Amino acid sequence: MLLGCIADDLTGATDLSLMLSREGMRTVQTTGIPPGDIDLDGIDALVIALKSRSIPAKEAVSMSLEAAGCLRDLGAHRYLFKYCSTFDSTDEGNIGPVLEALLDFVGGGQTIACPAFPAAGRTIYAGHLFVNGVLLSESPMKDHPLNPMHDSDLRRVLQRQTRLSVGLVGFEDVDGGIEAIDRALKREAAAGRTVSIVDALSDRHLRDIGAATADHVLITGGSGIAIGLPAAYVAKGLLARLTPPGSAMPAPAGRRAIIAGSCSQATRRQIEVALQRGMASLHVDVDRLLDGSQTVENILEWTSRQDAGQPFLVYSSADPAEVRAAQEKLGREAAGALVEATLSAVAKGCMEAGVTQFLVAGGETSGAVVKALDAKLLSIGPEIDPGVPWTRTLGYPDLALALKSGNFGAPDFFYKAWDFLR
| pLDDT tens-digit map of 20-62 | 999 999 999 999 999 878 889 999 999 999 999 989 999 999 9
Does residue 8 lie in a domain region? yes
Does residue 241 lie in a domain region? no
pLDDT per position as a tens digit, 111-158: 999 999 999 899 999 999 999 999 999 998 888 877 888 899 999 999
C-beta of residue 126 within 8 angstroms of C-beta of residue 116? no
- Same domain for 267 and 221: no
- Same domain for 366 and 225: no
Does residue 244 lie in a domain region? no
- Same domain for 272 and 183: no
* Domain count of the fold of the chain: 2
Cα torsion through 114, 120, 121, 124, rounded to 10? 10
C-beta of residue 116 within 8 angstroms of C-beta of residue 85? yes
Does residue 240 lie in a domain region? no
- Same domain for 207 and 82: yes
- Same domain for 125 and 28: yes
- Same domain for 264 and 180: no
C-beta of residue 267 within 8 angstroms of C-beta of residue 406? yes
Task: Mention every residue, 6+ apart, whose C-beta is less than 8 A from residue 115.
Answer: 83, 84, 85, 86, 87, 122, 124, 129, 154, 221, 222, 224, 225
- Same domain for 42 and 13: yes
- State which of 182, 202, 235 marks the end of a domain: 235
Task: Give the residue among 280, 224, 227, 251 at the shortest CA–CA distance from 417.
Answer: 251
Q: Is residue 351 packed enough to be buried (19+ CB in 10 Å), middle (13-18) or exposed (0-12)?
A: buried
Task: Give the residue among 228, 229, 219, 224 at the shortest CA–CA distance from 111.
Answer: 219
Q: Identify the domain containing residue 348 by its residue range.
A: 255-375+384-420
Task: Mention every residue, 6+ apart, whose C-beta is less than 8 A from residue 318.
Answer: 263, 268, 326
- State which of 185, 204, 235 marks the end of a domain: 235
Does residue 219 lie in a domain region? yes
What is the β-pairing status of strands 388-393 and 400-404?
Answer: antiparallel
- Same domain for 264 and 223: no
* pLDDT by 10s per residue, the chain, length 422: 999 999 999 989 999 999 999 999 999 999 999 987 888 999 999 999 999 998 999 999 999 999 999 999 999 999 999 999 999 988 889 999 999 999 999 999 999 999 999 998 999 999 999 999 999 999 988 888 778 888 999 999 999 999 999 999 999 999 999 999 999 999 999 999 999 999 999 999 999 999 999 999 999 999 999 999 999 999 999 999 999 877 788 999 999 999 999 999 999 999 999 999 999 999 999 989 999 999 999 999 999 999 999 999 999 998 878 877 877 778 777 888 899 999 999 999 999 999 999 999 998 899 899 999 999 999 898 999 988 999 999 888 999 999 999 989 999 999 999 999 98
Does residue 245 lie in a domain region? no
Does residue 276 lie in a domain region? yes
- Same domain for 259 and 230: no
Q: What is the pTM of this model?
A: 0.84
- Same domain for 271 and 174: no
- State which of 179, 205, 235 marks the end of a domain: 235
Give dist(CA 127, CA 157) in Å, integer. Answer: 10
Q: What CATH number did the domain enclosing 289 receive?
A: 3.40.980.20
* Single-letter amino acid, residue 284: V
Is the torsion defined by CA of 116, 62, 145, 262 positive or negative? Answer: positive
- Same domain for 218 and 273: no
User: Could you check whether the bond before residue 386 is cis, i.e. omega within 30 degrees of 0?
Assistant: no
Q: What CATH number did the domain enclosing 118 receive?
A: 3.40.50.10840
- Same domain for 138 and 45: yes
Does residue 126 lie in a domain region? yes
Predicted pLDDT of residue 248: 80
